[in-house]
Amino acid sequence: MDTTTRRRAPDTTRTEILDKALEVAAELGVLGFTLDAVAARTTVSKGAVLHHFPTKKALLAGMIDHLGEMHSDAVLAEAARDPEPYGRNARAYLRSVVNEPVTPQDVSIGRVVLAACAIDPSLSQRWNSWVTLPIRSARMTPCCCG
């Protein structure tokens, strides 16, 4: 009998859960966004989902961080393509936000995040810290005036 167990990398499992959470938010919206719905989409057990995200709030916080990382990565990638240093991050921020087409799925995900932020101010602060990260890292004001 083989007593070894095959374990997945925790980061891989966490990323899968977050990606599936975004799918659930995109397809089922605020009312359909539950831990059960997310667990049903993953290749791991509900227990594994709860191990990584013990509450719905923890999963929402994880989603906000996941979305924030994607947003920051997009801004930084756009900034890296800009040869002019003055105002680079501001232009990159605008390009990454304005030039991306908005899909109905994006709107649904946004509604889930907005509802979570409206219910829990700590989630709103978390989202704000991600959205303003490119601005803060460039040491400029949000209006790009200073």
Question: Based on the number of CB atoms within 10 Å of its own CB, is 73 exposed (0-12), middle (13-18) or buried (19 or more)?
Answer: exposed
pTM (two decimals):
0.80
* Pairwise CA distance, residues 10 & 12, whole Å: 5
Residues 47-96 have pLDDT tens digits of 999 999 999 999 999 999 999 888 888 888 999 999 998 988 888 888 88
Residue 145, pLDDT > 50, answer no
The owner of tokens 């209006």 is 143
